[in-house]
Amino acid sequence: MARPRVLIGLVVIPILFSACQRLTAGRRISLAPSRASATVRENALATMNCPVTKTILDEPPKDPNADLSGVGDWYVNAERTIWVRSQHWRVGSEGNKVIWIRPAGTELTIIGRRLDGWAPLLGVDMPCCYPTGFQVTGLYFPTDGCWEITAMAGNSKLRFVTEVQREKAPAQDSENSKRPESP
């Protein structure tokens, strides 16, 4: 009884193989995942696994050199000595203008690293000589992903995790792009 099954298999398998060859003629088929699909998968996993730090809705201490516009979303350390304004963090050379509050008279040091993949370190532009607790910096994320930022000033330290996303290109209005320019 096993013999007819073997014979049927020997006939059916070449027929199926031949049919697959005809269907894919002229097309290159790869069973390996493409780099694009791997990147999409990595980005989806990064979004799901990024332990983003919660912000608080509060008003930082008053500073004579800054008007911080009252209550807002801030990342704050437990001692409430380092504050950083939350924002939509973006990738690229334009950077992110960031407002910090730190203990007056201390030097602010900021480092950042990507948690969900390899990336160059965070770029930091630290202007000199803010005498009070108010400090503005530029932060430059080289890639999107899940980032850990650590800020230190004096004996104080703040660590937070945030997700950085690549800016989407604005969609073009297809009707407006087809209209001729008026003289």
pTM recorded for the entire structure: 0.66
What are the backbone angles phi and psi of residue 6, rounded to the nearest 5°?
-65, -45
CA-to-CA distance for 60 and 78, rounded, in angstroms?
A: 13
- 134-140 vs 123-125, strand pairing mode: antiparallel
Instruction: Give tens-digit pLDDT for 134-167.
Output: 999 999 999 999 999 999 999 999 999 999 998 7
Confidence band, pLDDT 50/70/90 cuts, at residue 38: very low
CA-to-CA distance for 83 and 147, rounded, in angstroms?
A: 17
Query: 10 Å Cβ neighbour count for 150?
Result: 14
Instruction: Domain 52-164: give its CATH architecture.
Output: Sandwich (2.60)
Question: Could you state, in order of their start, the residue ranges of all structural domains in the chain?
Answer: 52-164
